[in-house]
Amino acid sequence: MLERQLIENKNDREDLCSQLDHGRSRIDALEEEGRHKVVGWEVSQYKIAELEDEEKCRVPKQQEDAQRIAELQQRISFHSGAATTRSGIRKKAEISSG
């Protein structure tokens, strides 16, 4: 009877050790998963900040480009208008002298 109880206690102890090992490996796996999630979150936050910085730089650049395009369009229209005016004046001068 005592021998049977010792065997049962030994089996119970082995079962408990096995459950403990399984629990420890599960905890390790969850910790590792948590680390990956934290690292992934940190990388995501870094990328978001990087994109926000890029967007902050892009908006003024787009506005600057739009302003530059408007200035160039004004110059083009002024020069083409001046050419038309000059040729118109030349034509009028030719008509009046001819």
Number of residues that this document lists for the chain? 98
Q: Which tens digits make up the pLDDT trace of 54-72?
A: 877 777 777 888 888 888 8
> Is 92's pLDDT higher than 70?
no
- Specify the pTM: 0.39
Coil, helix or strand at residue 12: helix
> What is 55-76 written as a DSSP string?
HHHHHHHHHHHHHHHHHHHHHH
- Among the residue ranges 19-33, 39-53, 80-94, the one predicted with the least confidence is 80-94
Spatial distance between the Cα atoms of 74 and 78, rounded to a whole number of angstroms: 6
pLDDT-derived band at 8, boundaries 50, 70, 90 = confident
In this structure, the dihedral spanned by the alpha carbons of residues 22, 26, 27 and 32, taken in order and rounded to 10 degrees, is: 140
What's the confidence (pLDDT) of residue 80?
61
